[in-house]
Structure 1
Amino acid sequence: MSRWEYFLRRLLLSIPVVFFGATATFVIFRFGPIDPAAAIVGEAATEASRESYERTREQLGLTQPVTDHYVEYMRDLFLLNLGESWVISPGTSTVDLITTYAPRTLWLGFWAVLIPIFVGIPLGIYAGLNANTRIDYAISMFGIVWRAMPNFWLAVILLVVLSQSGQLFGFSWPDFLVDTPVTGTPDLSALGSPSGFAAATKQILPAAVVLGSASMGSELRIARTAVLETINSGYVELAKANGVSQRSLVWKHVLRNTLVPLVPTITNEAFLLIGGSIIVEVVFGIHGIGYLFFQAAINGDLPLVTALVFVFVLVVVAMNLLQDLLYVLIDPRVGYDGR
């Protein structure tokens, strides 16, 4: 099996996963604890309200046989006809709400992925190249601490520290470089200007550090282990015996092979963006997808909840496909010998 046949096979296998996720959203809508019609019109206490209740059930397809409703629901879902919000913004399309809130989560996710890559991986590689030294022990301890801290705890601690930075460090974080609040949604409308980019970046950095904290520790540890395994491998020893320079050895052999085990760690951060971003966005007051999902769930906005669950399924599948694609590009062995 060639590498690209392997990737095509993985692409085809993702289709039933998407259907399973879509079916799960249908089950939530049809058989969940919330009565969709009652959530819209209230309890059917009077004759008029009972008539309104029945009309709403018919409009939602709840009076149809389950199979007919399932087919209609799946058709609308894959056509991105995801209904309208009931509570958060009554009458507003869920797609419009998601596209409004999604850029803020993407901005948070961008930095939450970038910070561990440019901090955790270089530290892990440096520790691996200097194994069993004081700097290796210090970096390893740093990775363990960052990996162990729960992001909800770290979020609260960081929020308190930044709010009291003037008393603790002698400078005020909100006034540092550009004026931004410690919490709140960053303004992404001015990213094209240097001042707007700086303000949006500074305001999102504390939340990004918290969201990427677990990934930073994991990437550091995995990078260190991969470097140690690569350095002690036979082909590296052979390259050393042939007089290959240390710089060439690191760049041509060590770094490339270090990336292979890091691929799933980096791509799996999509799961952190789904689960962790809910907590982080609520704590820091960022009105992103996680915050929207939290508000929809506690207010019983069923169409918005099911739409967001379907979007989360698509994100997870897309990240898994990206992981497979990166494997194909980085490791030429993928796809052969039944792998």
Structure 2
Amino acid sequence: MSRWQYFAKRVLLSVPVLLFGASITFLVIRAGPLDPVSAILGPQGDPQAYNAIKQQLGLNQPLWQQYIDYMVNLFTFDLGESWVLQPDTSVYSLVASYAPRTLWLGFWSVLIAVFIGIPLGFYAGLNPNTFSDYVASFGGIVWRAMPNFWLAVILMSVLSQSEQFLFGFDWETWLSPTNVTGPPPLGNLTSVAGFTAALKKIAPAAIVLGSASMGNEMRIGRTAVLETVNSNFIETAKAKGVPPRSLVWKHIFRNALIPLVPIITGEAFILIGGSVLVETVFDISGIGYLFFQAVKNGDMPLVGSLMFIFILLVVLLNIVQDFLYTIIDPRVGYDGGA
């Protein structure tokens, strides 16, 4: 089986996953407490207006007809319009407006997790039972155990009163004048001042969102290095006289990365889910914040469309995960083909 045939097969196998996820989303939305008609009318709505809007939105149709319309629209990528938050505004327009802030947050969160968590875990694995190993291991457990919402509230409180808690250091005026909460200014990233302001604005939320992943990758990275170091092929490489630097970079680290691939790609969805909480606390106005507001206000088309986008992202990440496996470990094949 060739590489392209393999990935074509993976794409086809992803279709039932999308169908199942979209079906569960439909059932949860329709069976749940969301009532977009009441949200549109408000508390002063009368029964006659309620029935008229319900008929206009198609909510008086049989459930099976609503399900067919819902699935056809999703799989033809007709995500519809918002009913409550921004009536008559397409979901694509809302996603295009809110997504850049979430992408900016997710990018720095992943960098924190990958470029701090993995090196610390690898260093601890190469130096087991030392003081640095104990510090890294303890730090990984603490970071992994702390709830995002708790860390977000604590960090926001400390930075809001930084002169009191950080010995006179004023976070809001440091480097670039910014508030602790609010959306990052992404309109001028090409200039040094604009990039600095956007980075500083997103840094607290990125630290909170990347902390859990960072702790997890530290622990798993340490374990992966320890298992690789004690493997027979490492002893063989040592016996053949492979230089220590080459042994670490080409043999130990490369093989230790293999169990981290599903962790990194799998936690990308955790970042999506965590962004709902973090964006709400820090008032970032990203996709997570939009999803929270859609659920809160009963905006059914927006909730369903965003959930479909989340499911689609997870499916694509699983395919990317398979591709990364083949890069890190060439021994992974395509059922005997090349």
Work out whether residues 3 and 328 of structure 1, in 8 Å CA contact, stay in contact via their aligned partners in 2. no
In structure 2, runs of 5+ residues without a counterpart are none
- Give 1:181's aligned residue: 179
- Give 1:23's aligned residue: 23
For 2:279 and 2:44, locate their aligned partners in 1 and report how far apart those are by CA, in whole Å: 37
The alignment of Structure 1 onto Structure 2 pairs a total of residues equal to 335
Offset at 1:256? 0.8
RMSD: 2.3
- Give 1:161's aligned residue: 158
For 2:45 and 2:152, locate their aligned partners in 1 and report how far apart those are by CA, in whole Å: 45
- Give 1:264's aligned residue: 262
Listed as ranges, the matches of 1:205-284 within 5 Å are 205-284=203-282
- Give 1:293's aligned residue: 291
Work out whether residues 4 and 328 of structure 1, in 8 Å CA contact, stay in contact via their aligned partners in 2. no
For 2:226 and 2:5, locate their aligned partners in 1 and report how far apart those are by CA, in whole Å: 32
What amino acid maps onto 1:312 in structure 2? Answer: F
For 1:217 and 1:39, locate their aligned partners in 2 and report how far apart those are by CA, in whole Å: 41
SS class of match (1:273): helix
- Give 1:318's aligned residue: 316
For 2:43 and 2:156, locate their aligned partners in 1 and report how far apart those are by CA, in whole Å: 42
* Structure-1-length-normalised TM-score: 0.91
In structure 1, runs of 5+ residues without a counterpart are none
For 1:189 and 1:73, locate their aligned partners in 2 and report how far apart those are by CA, in whole Å: 36
Offset at 1:65? 4.3
- Give 1:107's aligned residue: 104
Offset at 1:72? 2.6
For 2:38 and 2:180, locate their aligned partners in 1 and report how far apart those are by CA, in whole Å: 40
User: Is residue 145 of structure 1 aligned with residue 154 of structure 2?
Assistant: no
CA distance 1:299–1:57, shift in 2 (3 Å) = closer
SS class of match (2:184): coil
Query: 1:123-176: per-residue Cα shift (whole Å, max 9, x none)?
Result: 111111111111111111111111111111111111111112212222111111
Listed as ranges, the matches of 1:70-89 within 5 Å are 70-89=67-86
User: Is residue 171 of structure 1 aligned with residue 169 of structure 2?
Assistant: yes
CA distance 1:198–1:304, shift in 2 (3 Å) = same
What amino acid maps onto 1:27 in structure 2? Answer: L
CA distance 1:185–1:7, shift in 2 (3 Å) = same
- Give 1:334's aligned residue: 332
